[in-house]
Amino acid sequence: MADLQPTVVVTGIGMITPLGASLDKSWEGLRSGRSGIGPITRFDAKDLDTKIAGEVRDFDPLDYMDRKEVKRADRFAQFAVATASQALKDASLSITEANAPRVGVLWGSGIGGVETLVENVLAHQRDPRRISPFMIPMMIVDMAAGEIAMKFGPKGPNLATVSACASSGHSLGTALDVLRRGQADVMLAGGSEAGLIPVAIGAFGAMHALSRRNEAPEKASRPFDKERDGFVFSEGAACLVLETLEHARARGARIIGEVAGYGATADAHHVTAPPPGGTGAVKAMRMALADAGVTPEQVGYVNAHGTSTPANDGAETAALKALLGDHARRVPVSSTKSMTGHTLGAAGAIEAAICLLAMRDGILPPTINQEFPDPDCDLDYVPNTARRAAVDVALSNSMGFGGHNVALVLRRLAA
């Protein structure tokens, strides 16, 4: 990393997960090893093979938007506005006419307003005159970033990243680049997903990607466990306030941690499956460590992509061994998707935030449902119970269909 590049820090976090519609609720659930997975209640799932998901049950968009705004925003954009509001409050940051041109937004989502899209397709089939004039602005992925800007006023760089389950990992990494280039002082970066509708569950089910452990939903997401049978579809969001260290200190902001490195690669291998050994992920992690100026031996915690699918978990384990060598056996690795389920395009931001919280509080969240050892997944996955540990450097991985790999290095900033 070049010496002239500014240090980029995180000063605020907002989070919505199936464990709760706030940072405090979500983090409490993660620390306690509680599952947020349950039977689907948003619609009747009786005709689907998979009848479970990670639903956000305690979210009220009217806490953040007025009724007209809510009516004209898809749920994924409502999540975006809500977590941005939480993060700005957490950062004690006000956006004014004076600083607005130096504040930007970078937002990731894999499928955006898919619920709006499907509702309007069905309406159009019944009667073309019933299609909503708000369909297009509600469904397009970049509208989450647009809604945040219209709600809070930032006028700096504003765009969206779309790379399936790596989407918000890319949004954080791209926001880091924007700040390093000097094009903004502050970036609101994150991702949201709210695609919990019958056709989405059916489509992932048709791929045999989802767990069908309907009789025990809290045990369905079991990354790295020999009995895993697929991921659990979930909804959620996270927003991080990224600032240059100089800007944060000048306004007396509390600093949660540093976004120190970013790596991104493509597998160029298969539409859904990683290559043997997770070679693309290895390259992304090496790139991120080099960007941060960190050696593999300095990594103290890994928040794995860990989806609970047979292909991903074995390949990611192999990739971590290739990256860390003998050190791999000493590094705690957890998949918090065991508790949140897979929030798709929001996962990267949620899990980067979790790394920062883990370092802040000295608590590593567990990988729950570790019951049956898999000989191909033989690292320390912080099984079932959270662990006290002092960590200075954490690594967060995200991987998406299409072969997208993102690695982020988070660091505790020395006082």
Amino acid at residue number 415: A
> HSE-up of 118 (CA within 13 Å, CB side)?
14
CA distance 256 to 357: 8
- Block residue for tokens 């977590």: 83
Q: Strands, DSSP E only, in 113-176? A: 158-161
Which helix (H) or strand (E) element contains residue 102? none
Angle at the Cα of 30 (from 24 to 34), degrees rounded to 5? 115
Q: Is 270 a catalytic residue?
A: no
Radius of gyration (C-alpha) of the chain in whole angstroms: 20
Closest-CA residue to 400 (of 334, 335, 342): 342
Q: Strands, DSSP E only, in 17-86? A: 38-39, 52-53
Residues whose CB falls within 8 Å of the CB of residue 45, separated by 6 or more in sequence, listed in order? 39, 51, 198, 201
Q: Is 404 a catalytic residue?
A: no
Per the residue annotation, which of 247, 305, 355, 404 is the catalytic one?
305
Per the residue annotation, which of 170, 239, 247, 342 is the catalytic one?
342
- How far, in Å, are 219, 361, 413 from residue 262 at the CA level? 33, 23, 17
74: left (phi over 0), alpha (psi -120 to 50) or beta: beta
Which helix (H) or strand (E) element contains residue 87? helix 75-91
Coil, helix or strand at residue 262: strand
CA distance 204 to 187: 33
Q: Is 165 a catalytic residue?
A: yes
Closest-CA residue to 37 (of 337, 384, 400): 337
Catalytic center residues: 165, 305, 342
